[in-house]
């Protein structure tokens, strides 16, 4: 099991393509590759452009997450809603 290096909610930029946005999801693969779903900001047309899965080693953090910190989920079954 590998460790994720980027916090969800961080603003990131691809050091290859220049694609920039917020890391909103992440995935861990059997080959050790961690990937993040990067969602760009809403455009001037008020529409959300398509995001992209980008490899962890390709991303540079340009701003730490803002607002409420959501702790990492240890996994397992979902808790019942109270």
Domain count, the chain: 1
- What confidence tens digit (pLDDT) does each residue in 29-78 have? 988 899 999 999 888 899 888 999 999 999 999 999 986 655 555 555 55
Q: Residue 51's domain spans which residues?
A: 11-63
In a domain, 5, yes or no: no
- What confidence tens digit (pLDDT) does each residue in 20-39 have? 999 999 999 988 899 999 99
Mean pLDDT confidence for 8-22: 96
Say what the pLDDT of residue 63 is. 95
In a domain, 33, yes or no: yes
In a domain, 2, yes or no: no
In a domain, 30, yes or no: yes
DSSP 25-75: EEEE-TTS-EEEEEEPPP-TTS-PPP-EEEEGGGEEEEE---SS--PPP--
């Amino acid at each position: 099991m590998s460790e994720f290096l980027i916090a969800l909610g961080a603003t990131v930029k691809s050091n290859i393509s220049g694609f920039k946005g917020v890391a909103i999801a992440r995935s861990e693969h059997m080959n050790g590759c961690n990937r993040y779903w990067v969602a760009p900001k809403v455009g001037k047309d008020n529409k959300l452009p398509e995001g992209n899965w980008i490899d962890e080693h390709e991303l540079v953090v340009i701003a730490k997450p803002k607002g409420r910190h959501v702790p990492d989920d240890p996994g397992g079954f979902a808790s019942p809603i109270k």
